[in-house]
Amino acid sequence: MERLLKSLVSPVADAAAETRIRAIRGVYDIISDVYPISSRLFHRLAHATAIEMSKMEDGMRILEVATGSGELYRQLTLNNPQGLTFGVDLSPRMAQKTQKGIRSIAKQARSYCHAADVRNLPFRSSSFDRVFLCALLELLPDGAMADALCEVRRVLKPDGRMVLVCISQRDPRFNTLYAAGAALVPSFLGRLVERSVYELVPKLGFEILAQRNVRQLWYPSTVIVLRKV
Ligand SMILES: C[S@@+](CC[C@H](N)C(=O)[O-])C[C@H]1O[C@@H](n2cnc3c(N)ncnc32)[C@H](O)[C@@H]1O
């Protein structure tokens, strides 16, 4: 099913996309030690909102894709002591940092973070009740966004929820500034994708259940909860 949906919307992956993904891995590996500052400054409120809107319950199987240095991941694990929490990040150094962080605060937690690409998640189909993604889709090359969403859909249980945090496009001044920054450091910032997400998700087998705008230090995010249909 996912392959069929993907073939309808996604162009064939090309060499430029793979080069971009390798560059992203390199950049996030390099900045893994300082990245927590950025996550706390810009994503903390969105993380809390995502957890609240997800209606996650202790005992669930939870996955976070693109954990970065683990700020949201730690909260997911601490909210799920009876369940199983998994994380992946493209950058091996980010994944390692996240795993170390969780062991330092919850030694016995059933919580495991590894390096993996969202386009090829190392999990069985229909394994998770909730999958969280924060500030990931912005980084992916065009065709890879549909691949990523199809892969998330594959690992979600029937009726499972994807909780997506996008950088919002609702503020034109922010959009202009972001585009200027992204032109300088494309592998770090990517591009804004919120509007494309709304177009894409119904075609890929998701229903939007809820959406909320948040803002932290002028940085606008949107939290979207989607159901696998
Ligand atoms: C902007 S950071 C967001 C980190 C974290 N979600 C947060 O809220 O702070 C983006 C993260 O996505 C990861 N990433 C980029 N491309 C990826 C891919 N194809 N698969 C998995 N992770 C990816 C990067 O390594 C980086 O850690």
Strand partners, 207: 227
- Which residues have CB under 8 Å from 52's CB, separation 6+? none
How far apart are the CA of 89 and the centre of ligand 1, in A? Answer: 6
Asked if residue 64 has its Cβ within 6 Å of ligand 1, the reply is no
Asked if residue 91 has its Cβ within 6 Å of ligand 1, the reply is yes
Domain boundaries, the chain: 2-228
Tokens coding 187: 């592998």
Burial 152-183 (b: 16+ CB within 10 A, else e): bbbbbbeebbbbbbbbbbeeeebbeebeeebe
- Predicted local confidence at residue 12, as pLDDT: 46
Asked if residue 39 has its Cβ within 6 Å of ligand 1, the reply is yes
- Fold observed for domain 2-228: Rossmann fold (3.40.50)
Strand partners, 87: 64, 113
Strand partners, 24: none
Going residue by residue through the chain (229 aa), what tens digit of pLDDT does each one get?
655 555 555 544 578 889 999 999 999 999 999 999 999 999 999 999 999 999 999 999 999 999 999 999 999 999 999 999 999 999 999 999 999 999 999 999 999 999 999 999 999 999 999 999 999 999 999 889 999 999 999 999 999 999 999 999 999 999 999 999 999 999 999 999 999 999 999 999 999 999 999 999 989 999 999 999 9
Note the pLDDT tens digit of each residue in 30-63.
999 999 999 999 999 999 999 999 999 999 999 9
- Three-class secondary structure of residue 127 per DSSP: coil
Task: Write the residue with the smallest CA distance to atom 23 of ligand 1.
Answer: 90
- Which residues have CB under 8 Å from 111's CB, separation 6+? 73, 77, 80, 84, 85, 86, 87, 102
- Predicted local confidence at residue 84, as pLDDT: 98
